[in-house]
């Protein structure tokens, strides 16, 4: 299958590419502006050819993976990049609440206009399926479990921009027949996430730097933590399942874990790996974040035939093993 992965040098993108190559029979074009992901991150999972936008029309020879360095706002690049692709997995954009609070404008340009740009290119380029990386942040304040029928009320610019992306996906399905599938990822963790500001990555970074784990607020805020391999399986199924155009799916585990409980699990996993004397301390709560969050994944179970398989303890142990081998503080 011919894939286009925007943001393919990032955490989820590199893991997706690793899985596709393991499965075999795929060719993958990556568009990434390298604002976060790096060539070295992509090189860790595959060998690839770097191509310039003008040569895209002729395709590329040799490697199964090609990288074009560019921004998702670039309309000409988007048009060239979708040529001959069957599936687009749109991962690039602003990825968090805190940057969206610091700069809502840039969050909007990246997440709304960047997504619109790739939807427009995809429908003109006759792409078969468009997978959109959405987030539980679209729903905002509600009593969990979050599910697809709740009326969204985002509490952060990030939630708003991701929701706008979902709205455009719906519009492109109903107006133009482009088979969009929106996946609202839970809190994803796993190998390759050492640059992320998510709580699991922060805990492991700090522990390996010999610093205390830091919990924002009282630690009773909850999240739904999903291991990367389970998430990738959901993306693969969303790319192939029949009759899911225009749909939205919660992709998480249906398990609610407080940050306090997570810290306990992280400390246990660290101890098992011989990292002892971990201090846990509390810091001021952060604005724009919901108190409780976990997802009902019944729809993904029934329509995608998907099931998350990795326990939190196993996933954390696999993540720590990766951090111990690969993590070094970035300059």
Give contact residues for ligand NAD (rule: CB under 6 A).
7, 9-13, 32-37, 71-72, 91-93, 95, 110, 114, 133, 135, 185, 187-188, 196, 198
> Closest separation between CB of residue 56 and ligand NAD, Å?
15
Q: Which SS3 state, helix, strand or coil, does residue 150 take?
A: coil
Q: Which residue carries 């009759």 as its tokens?
A: 243
For residue 295, the cross-strand partners are 146
Between 25 and 328, CB nearer to ligand NAD = 328
> Closest separation between CB of residue 91 and ligand NAD, Å?
4
**Structure tokens belonging to residue 273:** 């790996």
> Closest separation between CB of residue 271 and ligand NAD, Å?
25
Euclidean distance between CA atoms 32 and 70, whole angstroms: 6
Nearest residue to ligand NAD by CB is 10
Instruction: Identify whether the C-beta of residue 250 lies closer than 8 Å to the C-beta of residue 166.
Output: no
> Closest separation between CB of residue 279 and ligand NAD, Å?
26
Residues marked active site are found at: 158
Between 198 and 324, CB nearer to ligand NAD = 198
């Amino acid at each position: 299958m011919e894939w286009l992965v925007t943001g393919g040098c990032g955490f989820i993108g590199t893991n997706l590419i690793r899985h596709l190559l393991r499965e075999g029979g795929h060719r993958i074009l990556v568009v990434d502006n390298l604002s976060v992901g790096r060539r070295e991150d992509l090189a860790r999972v595959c060998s690839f050819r770097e191509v310039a936008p003008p040569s895209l029309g002729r395709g590329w020879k040799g490697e199964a993976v090609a990288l074009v360095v560019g921004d998702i706002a670039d309309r000409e690049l988007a048009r060239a990049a979708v040529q001959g692709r069957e599936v687009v997995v749109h991962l690039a954009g602003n990825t968090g609440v805190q940057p969206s609070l610091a700069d809502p404008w840039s969050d909007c340009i990246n997440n709304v206009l960047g997504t619109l740009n790739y939807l427009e290119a995809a429908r003109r380029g006759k792409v078969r399926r468009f997978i959109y990386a959405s987030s539980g942040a679209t729903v905002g304040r509600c009593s969990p479990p979050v599910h697809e029928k709740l009326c969204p009320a985002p509490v952060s610019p990030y939630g708003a921009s991701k929701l706008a992306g979902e709205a455009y996906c719906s519009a492109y399905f109903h107006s133009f027949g482009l088979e969009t599938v929106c996946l609202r990822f839970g809190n994803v963790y796993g190998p390759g996430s050492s640059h992320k500001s998510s709580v699991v990555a922060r805990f492991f970074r700090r522990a390996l730097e010999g610093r205390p784990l830091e919990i924002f607020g009282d630690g009773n805020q909850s999240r739904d933590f999903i291991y990367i391999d389970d998430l990738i399986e959901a993306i693969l199924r969303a790319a192939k399942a029949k009759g899911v155009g225009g749909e939205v799916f919660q992709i998480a585990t249906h398990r609610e874990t407080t940050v306090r409980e997570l810290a306990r699990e992280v400390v246990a996993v660290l101890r098992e790996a011989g990292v002892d004397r971990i201090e846990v301390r509390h810091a001021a709560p952060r604005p724009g974040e919901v108190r409780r969050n976990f997802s009902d994944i019944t729809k993904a179970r029934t329509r995608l035939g998907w099931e998350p398989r990795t326990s939190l303890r196993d996933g954390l142990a696999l993540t720590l093993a990766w951090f111990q081998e690969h993590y070094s503080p970035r300059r």
